[in-house]
């Protein structure tokens, strides 16, 4: 059993659903940890891992995710959580009002750690675009404005299963599951 340290129940639902069919079980620890301000998601989880390793016995999983909008120079990126809390999806749509280029990507970085062991990092990316208006009530965060490549619907209009078929978080979970499968042999 791996302890997923997150205050976000939506992330826990998605990651648990993605890993369960692969035989990986998670338990959620609803605890915040300090996140440094950095330019890369990887740096945020690497610093946090040292703190979490002292607080959580056994294996733990932490993550950082971000929405990177091309026309906004990658903003909000590593600041996605703060931007979500301050201007939300509607604010990003407003910033994009006059933009013809709507390309964006979601990225997730997972860190699997345990005190006394070097951490392992797993990354997932989902390319897509920013919708002209928020659509859907599913998911969380910027899901109502992100349309994954090859779809006409936003993540907010998809079920967890549909989102997990293409999402950045599910791709990071698949990489983690591959690692765990190799390690268990």
- Considering the candidates 39, 43, 63, 64, report the single residue annotated as catalytic: 64
Tell me if residue 63 is catalytic.
Answer: no
Q: Map the chain to HEC letters.
A: CEEEECCCHHHHHHHHHHHHHHCCCEEEECCCCCCCCCCCHHHHHHHHHHHHHHHCCCCEEEEEEEEEEHHHCCCEECCHHHHHHHCHHHHHHHHCCCCCCCEEEEEEEEEEECCCCCCEEEEEEEEEEECCCCCCCCCCCCHHHEEECCCCCCHHHCCHHHHHCCCHHHHHHHHHHHHHHHHHC
| Residues annotated as part of the active site | 64
């Amino acid at each position: 059993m791996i302890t997923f340290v997150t205050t976000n129940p939506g992330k826990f639902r998605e990651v648990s659903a993605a890993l369960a069919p692969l035989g990986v079980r998670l338990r959620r620890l609803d605890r915040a940890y300090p996140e440094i301000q950095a330019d890369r998601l990887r740096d945020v989880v690497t610093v946090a891992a040292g703190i979490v390793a002292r607080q959580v016995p056994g294996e733990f999983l932490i993550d950082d995710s971000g929405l990177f909008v091309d026309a906004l120079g990658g903003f909000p990126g590593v600041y996605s959580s703060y931007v979500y809390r301050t201007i939300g999806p509607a604010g990003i749509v407003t910033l994009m009002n006059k933009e013809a280029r709507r390309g964006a990507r979601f990225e997730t970085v997972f860190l699997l750690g345990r005190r006394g062991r070097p951490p392992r990092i797993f990354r997932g990316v989902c390319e897509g675009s920013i919708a002209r208006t928020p659509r859907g009530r599913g998911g969380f965060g910027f899901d109502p404005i992100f349309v994954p490549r090859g779809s006409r619907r936003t993540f907010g209009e998809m079920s967890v299963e549909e989102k997990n078929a293409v999402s950045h978080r599910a791709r990071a979970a698949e990489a983690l599951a591959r690692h765990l499968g190799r390690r268990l042999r």
